[in-house]
Each structure stands twice: as structure tokens, then as C-alpha cells.
Amino acid sequence: MVDQGRTGPHHAGWVRATHWALALAVLTLVISGVTIFMAHPRLYWGQAGNDMTAAWLELPIGPNYRHGGWAAPVHFAPAGRDVISAARTAIIFNQNGWARSLHFLGAWLLVASGLVYALFAAATGHGWRNLLPGREGFSPAALWADIRAHLARRPVRPRLDPVGPPYNVLQRWAYTIVLGAVPVMVFSGLAMSPYVTAGYPWVLDLFGGHQTARSVHFLAFSLIALFIVVHFVMVLRTGALRQVQAMTIGVKGN
């Protein structure tokens, strides 16, 4: 869909400002978060998890992935239960104090800019008018037609492709999923903070354990990362210069 009648910027000033603040926050969180994750690139469910327990996911990143093995295990049986202990044959890489501080700083920027965006979106009607799926978004026919249009890989026509709203069905669903994933990511991050859970243990109880919170945090991040990749690809396909102009200085209608 092309908005032929627009004569002003395709994005409001508050949209542009919060967009770049959120972009900076996400970039900061990605860099610091990946560095933190490399200290132990394994994910578990429940309260506890370590190298001696089974992980539901292990990513081959960082020097701690398959760190070199274990020394001979030591067996001992207090209270009639056999417990196994083993020592690493390599020192764990855990020099990420800077990343944890930067991650927390980036989270504050994400929350602050996200709240500003949410307040303006609610006050101006931008949220329900442009971002939420609406009645059309729940129509299988409309959704399938939009999927087919994307799979067709139509030639890009920069002068005809719209910049900004109105968004199609898939775009609306993508924004809705991200808007839901962000608070999940924030609360699961808080659930991993000893400072927060010491004062508010119910935050951790919501997730059923520290390792579950960590896994949920990773999954929410993965959804947002996937959105960013697709978003970046679509910007390139529909005229990167026009899209950047629209999201910085604004552009005039066609």
C-alpha cells in the first residue's frame, strides 16, 4: 500500500527519536549480552544448571564451549546418595564484568525509550491504528495473501514503496510480537538479578527458577534479534537511503 497523499514526514518526530534510542539500546544489549552468554553458553530449565547437568541448548560460541574436558570424577555418597564432582581441565573464561555493567545500562535505556514510545503510541493512536493486527490480521485469507506477496519477491520500486505506515499484516504481527517480547525480556532479566530478587523474590517465582528465567530471556532476545535481521533486510530491499532519511530527517510524500 502506498500513501500518495502524505505531504509531511512519514514518521513523527517522537517515532524517529525513540527508534534510534531503542536501536542504540538493543545494540548495546546484544554486544554485552553475547559476551555474558559466552561465559556459559548452555541453557537449562528450573532453578539450577551447570556443566554436570543436561542442557536443552548449547551454542558453540566462546572459549567455554567444550572447554577441554574434565579431570577424573570423584564419587562420594553422603546420606546414601551418590554424588559426582569433577574439576575442569581448563580455566573458565569469565572476564565479563564490564559487559554486565554495560548490559544493565543498556537495559535502562531500553526501558526508558520503550516507555516513551508506548505512551506516545497510546496517546496518538499510533499503536492500535498502525501496529496491532486489527480485524484483517486475524483473517487467514489476508494473512496468506500477504505471505504469498512476500514470497513472490516482487521487484523493488523505491518511488512506489511506502515509507512508514500503513503497514501490512505481516509487519503488524511482527511489531506486535516484538512489543510482547520486550517486557518478557526485561522481566526475565530482572529475575536473574540477585539485587532485585533479594527484595522482590516474586519476580523470580514468576519464572519458576533462575535457569528458566535465563532461558526465557534468551528466547525473547532471539525473537527480537530475528525481527531486527528481517527489518534490516527489508530496509535494504525497499531503498535504504529513503528509509534512513524517513527515520532521521523525514521525507516528503511521493
Higher-confidence residue of 96 and 8: namely 96
Residue 56 covered by a domain: no
Range of the domain at 147: 13-38+96-246
Res. 116: pLDDT tops 80: yes
Query: Which pLDDT tens digit goes with each residue over 17-56?
Result: 999 999 999 999 999 999 999 888 999 999 988 877 889 9
pLDDT for the residue 146: 79
Among 224, 214, 126, 139, which Cα is nearest to 166's? 126
Instruction: Judge whether 253 lies within some domain.
Output: no
Q: What is the pLDDT of residue 171?
A: 87
C-alpha cell at 102: 554495560
Check if the beta carbon of residue 37 is closer than 8 Å to that of residue 225: no
Stretch 187-207: mean pLDDT: 93
Q: Does the pLDDT value for residue 164 go beyond 70?
A: no
Residue 109 lies in a domain: yes
Q: Quick check: is 194 in a domain?
A: yes
| Statement: residue 87 has pLDDT above 70 | no
Q: CB burial class (10 A; 0-12, 13-18, 19+) of residue 69?
A: exposed
- Within-domain flag for 1: no
Residue 236 CB contacts under 8 Å (≥ 6 apart), including other chains: none
77-113 burial: b if 16+ Cβ within 10 Å, else e: eeeeeeeeeeeeeeeeeeebeebeebbeebbebbeeb
Q: Residue 29 belongs to a domain with what CATH number?
A: 1.20.950.20
pTM (predicted TM-score): 0.81
Number of domain units in the chain: 1
